């Protein structure tokens, strides 16, 4: 194993600290041997190593000469990246109560299957036009309640509810909001 040696003979305490600081910054993962001959420099070297959390031991060789052996600083692994937060999903607009054309019962089951997989990153699901028929389906209502429980709001088209004279069990949404998003391609249409 390599050991970096720093000689601090005939230097002032401030010169010694500057040199030692540069070495510690440049090579934190290498063990260090510091040699010197002044007691004041030795005390300052010890303090700096303590502040930098570098374990060391002092080895005396002769009357005035000293040696300090400092261990390599443990190189910390980079912190684990924060878990990725999924980007917000676009809102979902339902205009029908089943996928069409084809068998209506199958189309309903497939639509409800897709609706049940809407994730919590989706801000809201809006029912408009024929999709309000889903309010009469107990399986659909269970899915709507599960969506609300996960934080995805279920909303109803204000104009559709007014047209059909529905008492909305969910929050009304001004149709201009979803219409503008639809015009820009900024929502998912089921």
Domain positions in the chain are 4-70, 92-189
**Which tens digits make up the pLDDT trace of 108-147?**
999 999 999 998 899 999 999 999 999 999 999 999 999 9
CB 165 within 8 A of CB 186: no
| Coil, strand or helix at 168 | coil
Q: Do domains 4-70 and 92-189 have the same CATH topology?
A: no
Q: Is the pTM of this model over 0.95?
A: no
Average pLDDT over residues 21-36: 86
Can you read off the two tokens belonging to residue 188?
A: 């998912």
β partners of residue 33? 5, 69
Q: Which CATH class is domain 92-189?
A: alpha beta
The Cα 190–Cα 185 span in angstroms is 13
Helix (H, G, I), strand (E, B) or coil at 82: coil
Q: What mean pLDDT do residues 148-167 have?
A: 93
93 in Cβ contact with 189 (< 8 Å): yes
Q: Which CATH class is domain 4-70?
A: alpha beta
């Amino acid at each position: 194993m390599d050991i970096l040696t720093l000689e601090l003979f005939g230097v002032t305490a401030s010169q010694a600290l500057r040199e030692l600081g540069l070495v510690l910054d440049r090579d934190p993962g290498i063990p260090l041997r510091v040699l010197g001959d002044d007691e004041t420099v030795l005390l300052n070297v010890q303090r700096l190593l303590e502040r930098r959390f570098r374990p060391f031991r002092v080895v005396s060789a002769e009357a005035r000469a000293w040696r300090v052996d400092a261990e390599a600083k443990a190189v910390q692994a980079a912190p684990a990246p924060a878990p990725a937060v999924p980007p917000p999903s676009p809102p979902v607009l339902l205009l029908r109560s089943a996928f069409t054309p084809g068998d209506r019962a199958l189309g309903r089951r497939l639509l409800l299957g897709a609706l049940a997989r809407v994730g919590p990153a989706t801000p809201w699901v809006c029912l408009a036009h024929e999709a309000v028929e889903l309010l009469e389906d107990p399986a659909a209502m269970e899915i709507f309640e599960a969506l609300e429980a996960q934080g995805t709001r279920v909303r109803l088209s204000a104009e559709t509810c007014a047209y059909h004279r529905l008492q909305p069990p969910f929050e009304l949404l001004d149709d201009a909001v979803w219409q503008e998003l639809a015009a820009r391609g900024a929502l998912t249409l089921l």
